[in-house]
Amino acid sequence: MDHLISSPVIIKKQLCYAITVLTISTSVLLLNLRGSFAPLSVFRFGFLSWGKTCDYSCGRWVPDERSSSQLYAESCPFLDPGFRCRKNGRKDVEYLKWKWQPHGCDIPRFNASDLLERSQNGRIVFAGDSLGRNQWESLLCMLAEAVPNKSTIFEENGSPITKHKGFLSVRFLHYNLTVEYYRAPFLVVVGHPPQDSPPKVRVTVRVDEISWYSRRWTGADVIIFNAGHWWNEEKTVKMGCYFQEEGKLNMTMEVMEAFRRSLQTWKSWTIQNLNPGKSHVFFRSYSPVHYRNGTWNEGGLCDADTEAERNYTKLETDPLSNQYIYDVIKEMKYSNRKVQFLNITYLTEFRKDGHPSRYREPGTPTDAPQDCSHWCLPGVPDTWNELLYSHLLKMEFRTK
């Protein structure tokens, strides 16, 4: 508990909350003093900005009625059927009418043509769980808006854009660019347990062996990792998935300790295999879930949530996994490796309204669990990619 209390990530979240309250209070005061005063203008002019560096992860959601704010339509051909919430029966559209506003600065407008040109002859890679696929599909659609002839964008192996156990690679032909997704929920190997393991051990997570897909990650110009949604007891030990290290089964290792050790494996692999002069590395933070009245497999719901959370006191605490990610990235700085912590947890926590909920892909049984983990597209992951683009601009990214 002491570790959590002293956590920089937790302290920052509390600071974001305090600044937001101050933002609203100051805006109301100035509105009373000046009459028609734009609520956020005091912060856009930098009176309370944090120096010259914009912290895009700290801010608030503001209503945005402009249709031009939507970066693509649900008809984008690169979307998984499960993320097309409107097509699957969702009637309300308010979840599409929000904009993330950082404190003291603005997010640069996403420019698909610019990012395609910067990425020419390169590779953008997403590696992680299905939330990474959610973000990958979002970026595909955002980039495709700048390509008039969509037939020049295609999956290289002819695979459909749907739930897929493996990898998908979409090529933007005119830019000789691939945008790739690799399904690696733990980022490390999941395999058969050692011989003579107890019958209840079905598989093991080998915390000291990086995913077999890692050989395909080398040489990426931009690579975005994520992990966390499978690192819990429900999806590990309760399903017969235990942990293994140095070839030995360890049935007493706690899930978060296993996650910490796997991150050390990821760190070592990254330092040894990714060229810091070429690869721009990001590790995205945890994407919050919003199950109410139960967990995902115990009747949890979110279909009644049709607008963003406005009560800051109802936000969940930051998950411990974020602190472990933050810590390992900080360690890597001592090795002269610039890995970016793409912190989307705080801004995403507000968006309980953005999940597919009961509006899942056609053919889903009516009694199937609601999806309060993934995100409707267009939707929240578009903002994650706007932040990614903003960071790349600050890093002056361009393929060599």
Whole-angstrom Cα Rg for the chain: 21
**130 in active site:** yes
**374 in active site:** yes
Catalytic residue among 7, 57, 119, 130: 130
Whether the CB-CB separation of 372 and 289 falls below 8 Å is answered with: yes
Whether the CB-CB separation of 352 and 302 falls below 8 Å is answered with: yes
Q: Which two tokens stand for residue 283?
A: 């590790």
Task: Tell me the C-alpha distance between 242 and 255, whole Å.
Answer: 9
Q: Which two tokens stand for residue 93?
A: 């559209």
**67 in active site:** no
Catalytic residue among 129, 353, 371, 382: 371
Task: Tell me the C-alpha distance between 44 and 32, whole Å.
Answer: 19
* CA dist list (Å): 106 to 55, 64, 195, 378: 10, 14, 56, 21
Whether the CB-CB separation of 23 and 60 falls below 8 Å is answered with: yes
Catalytic residue among 229, 374, 382, 390: 374
Whether the CB-CB separation of 194 and 248 falls below 8 Å is answered with: yes
Residues annotated as catalytic are 130, 371, 374
